[in-house]
């Protein structure tokens, strides 16, 4: 009776490819798990703060960690001459801008940003949309304290185009934005107090913890498939004789 057996004999080409690809796939999986945990914590913190009384902002401001995701209010006035447009902020599949207007505290040289509205973008980034003017005069605003809307990659300068107002930015560089203003800009963005689901969607960039976990499973599955393929392609069949 003639039989055969298989022996694992790795070839250098698939070995190198596997060693290059496997760590990256695993890293992406663990990164997605970390993102899922971060957003679960974000949701828990937001839920815990939902019933809290609004914090009245005053100068000097509390540390950001003590304000993040909590309801706040402030009295002062909008800087109607200077506004920022945060690019690449999609809504219902449409690309647009978040309008961020400095709000200066009454009797102070300190301001925070208020995310006043969203406006659709044109096909040409050089053509900025028409903006509704910021309300004038002293007023009290209320909302949720955040560190800013979710953005993608932060590469290069945050500014796009020239130095005219409104200024277009691709991400929030508070130091650079502070330098462009004649007063101090604190690293805080007040989001309108919208519904809980909409607020969480904005803060999470549209990707829930469950979806991040699903992405992680996909990356780990690809890593497992790569290992299986590596083993299979390196099995060598050896013939043999037996009775």
Res 3: pLDDT: 55
Res 23: pLDDT: 92
Res 243: pLDDT: 44
> ∠ CA(154), CA(188), CA(169), 5° rounding?
35
Res 1: pLDDT: 45
Res 169: pLDDT: 86
Closest CA to 85 of 42, 49, 120, 39: 120
- On the CB side of 25, CA atoms within 13 Å amount to 17
Low-confidence residues of the chain, pLDDT below 70? 1-4, 45-52, 123-126, 150-162, 194-207, 239-243
pLDDT one-digit tens code per residue, 133-192 = 788 899 999 988 888 776 655 555 665 556 788 888 888 888 888 888 999 999 999 988
Q: What is the pTM of this model?
A: 0.59
Res 50: pLDDT: 60
* Residue 66, H or E segment: helix 64-67
Distance separating alpha carbons of residues 59 and 48, to the nearest angstrom? 25
Distance separating alpha carbons of residues 93 and 3, to the nearest angstrom? 61
**What contacts 22, CB < 8 A, 6 or more positions away?**
223, 226, 227
**What contacts 197, CB < 8 A, 6 or more positions away?**
none
Res 128: pLDDT: 76
Res 200: pLDDT: 53
């Amino acid at each position: 009776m003639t039989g055969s057996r298989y022996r694992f004999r790795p070839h250098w080409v698939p070995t190198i490819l596997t060693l290059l690809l496997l760590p990256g796939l695993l890293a992406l999986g663990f990164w997605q798990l970390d993102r899922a945990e971060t957003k679960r914590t974000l949701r828990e913190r937001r839920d815990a703060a939902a019933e809290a009384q609004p914090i009245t902002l005053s100068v000097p401001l509390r540390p950001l960690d003590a304000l993040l995701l909590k309801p706040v209010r402030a009295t002062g006035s909008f800087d109607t001459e200077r506004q920022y447009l945060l690019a690449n902020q999609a809504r219902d599949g449409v690309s647009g801008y978040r309008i961020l207007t400095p709000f200066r505290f009454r009797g102070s040289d300190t301001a925070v940003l208020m995310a006043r509205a969203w406006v659709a973008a044109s096909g040409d980034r050089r053509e900025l949309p028409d903006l509704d003017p910021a309300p004038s005069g002293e007023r009290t605003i209320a909302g949720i304290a955040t560190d800013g809307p979710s953005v993608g990659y932060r590469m290069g300068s945050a500014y796009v185009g020239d130095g005219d107002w409104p200024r277009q930015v691709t991400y929030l560089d508070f130091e650079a934005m502070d330098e462009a203003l004649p007063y101090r800009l604190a690293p805080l963005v007040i989001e309108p107090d919208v519904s809980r689901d909409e607020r969480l969607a904005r803060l999470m960039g549209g990707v829930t913890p469950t979806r991040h976990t699903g992405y992680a499973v996909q990356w780990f599955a690809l890593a497992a498939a790569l290992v299986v393929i590596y083993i299979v392609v390196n099995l060598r069949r050896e013939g043999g004789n037996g009775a």
